């Protein structure tokens, strides 16, 4: 991070609207702002709605996935494993499901708040290096399901400080799914220490490795 405060501006809505496969890598290096807490998005996965057997929206709209069928630029938050929250950016027009799962981020500001929100974290990179850890660090729960990420001054927003997404992000198979696991629809900033370790210690594999 640069020593002097960078100027933040909201991410343009058009960058968030489109095929999740295109939007996902574009979100890398953008910022999530949640009160005093700021993180940089380092790892994401694309979920392609009704065309994607691994998507919560595959079998059509339900009460849980309703936000995914809503307007783009909203946060889709879901509860899983009986104890964890995970968050997505909705990225298709209203009526069409599609979203990008936020899997990991780099802490930028508000570290004190994040440390208290994540007592289990030992190293700085443990604060946000997983989809549920990220939500815990930022205090994201079901209350934020449907929040408008493009509204400045909202409870949580998506901003840029001018850092472009990586021109050639690393990519590989999505983590933790039991169907459609063959597609390389996970994207991350190559070499960043905050990339999630993946389940059972399976190391991320970039195309260059």
Partner DNA sequence: CTTTGGATCGTCT
Partner DNA sequence: GACGATCCAAAGG
- Positions touching DNA (CB under 7 A) are 45, 47, 54-57, 59, 62-65, 68, 76, 79-84, 86, 88, 99, 101, 118, 120-121, 126, 130-134, 136, 174-178, 196-197, 199-203
Q: Which residue has the tokens 């901003």?
A: 159
Q: Which is nearer to DNA, 118 or 151 (CB)?
A: 118
Q: Which is nearer to DNA, 38 or 175 (CB)?
A: 175
- Least distance in Å: CB of 35 to DNA? 21
Q: Which residues fall within 8 angstroms of residue 186, CB to CB, at 6 or more apart?
A: 43, 44, 45, 46, 103, 171, 172, 173, 174, 175
Q: Which is nearer to DNA, 31 or 100 (CB)?
A: 100
- Least distance in Å: CB of 6 to DNA? 27
Q: H/E element holding 116?
A: helix 111-117
- CA proximity to 25, closest of 169, 208, 204: 169
Residue 67: helix, strand or coil by DSSP?
A: helix
Q: H/E element holding 133?
A: helix 131-138
Q: Which is nearer to DNA, 130 or 165 (CB)?
A: 130
- Least distance in Å: CB of 87 to DNA? 8
């Amino acid at each position: 991070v640069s020593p002097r405060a960078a100027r933040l501006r909201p991410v343009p809505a058009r960058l968030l609207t489109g095929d999740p496969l295109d939007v996902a890598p574009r979100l890398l290096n953008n910022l999530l702002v949640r009160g005093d807490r700021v993180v940089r998005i380092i790892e994401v996965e694309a979920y392609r709605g009704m065309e994607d057997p691994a998507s919560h929206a595959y079998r059509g709209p339900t009460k849980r996935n309703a936000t995914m069928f809503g307007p783009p630029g909203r946060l889709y938050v879901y509860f899983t494993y009986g104890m964890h929250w995970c968050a997505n950016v909705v990225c298709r027009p209203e009526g069409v499901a599609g979203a990008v799962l936020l899997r990991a981020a780099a802490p930028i500001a508000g570290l004190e708040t994040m440390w208290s929100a994540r007592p289990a974290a030992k190293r700085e990179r443990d604060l946000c290096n997983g989809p549920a850890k990220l939500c815990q660090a930022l205090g994201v729960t079901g209350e934020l399901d449907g929040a408008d990420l493009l509204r400045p001054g909202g409870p949580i927003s998506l901003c840029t400080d001018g850092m472009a997404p990586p021109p050639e992000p690393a990519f590989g198979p999505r983590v933790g799914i039991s169907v459609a696991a063959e597609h390389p629809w996970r994207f991350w900033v190559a070499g960043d220490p905050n990339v999630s370790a993946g389940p059972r210690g399976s190391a991320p594999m970039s195309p260059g490795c």
